[in-house]
Amino acid sequence: ISSIDRPTRGAIRLDGKDIVRLNEKDLSKLRKDRIGFVFQDYSLLDSMSLLDNIVLPLTLNGAKASLALKKGKRLAAQFGLSGHLDKFPYQLSGGQKQRGATCRALIMEPAVLFADEPTGALDSRSSQDLLDCFSKINEENDTTIVMVTHDAFAASYAREVYVLKDGRIELHLHKGDSQKEFFNRILDAQAAMGRDLR
């Protein structure tokens, strides 16, 4: 879905375009402009401050420094990072690093954010903080978030959950009104299948 690999069949539509049919140059531009990535290991550059890490995609895209810094600071404030912008990654907690990595992924205002086990290396408080930020970004910025997780609690923040087995959709769950009830339904689905979410 993220355009890194080409599917063997089917279509993937983003902004009304079937991205499966795009050439490599257009796919690269699409990834740069419309898709964001958040990884479990943060992937921050150790030699740069948190603010510099956040604004890096804008800088590489030729944005003026003043605009990039203003946008980076505004985004960091949404994620509770204003007091940490001059710190280097080794001076940050895991939760702060992951929120910073998320800011970097969002700075180009992508239509879709892909998050690969974003809470996998975080404690429960940091996980909840990050998931709350994801919910806020989804609602306020209308950014679609596609998250891969084995964690039922993290999955309960989604509106839709798809359980995959051997590359096929095994089960589809819709949230409804209650996160707690959705969390319990996900746990029940895990128990019935006898394994973690895949």
**pTM, to two decimals:** 0.85
Task: Compare 128 and 195 and report the one with higher pLDDT.
Answer: 128
Q: Using one digit for the tens of pLDDT, what is the confidence trace for 150-169?
A: 899 999 999 999 998 888 88
Residue 155's CB: how many other CB atoms inside 10 A? 25
Total residue count of the chain as it appears in this document: 198
Q: Using one digit for the tens of pLDDT, what is the confidence trace for 69-97?
A: 999 999 999 889 999 999 999 999 999 99
Q: Using one digit for the tens of pLDDT, what is the confidence trace for 96-146?
A: 999 999 999 999 999 999 999 998 888 888 889 889 989 988 998 889 999
Q: Are 70 and 35 in contact (CB under 8 A)?
A: no
Give the integer Cα–Cα distance in Å for 188 and 152. 10
Give the integer Cα–Cα distance in Å for 190 and 198. 10
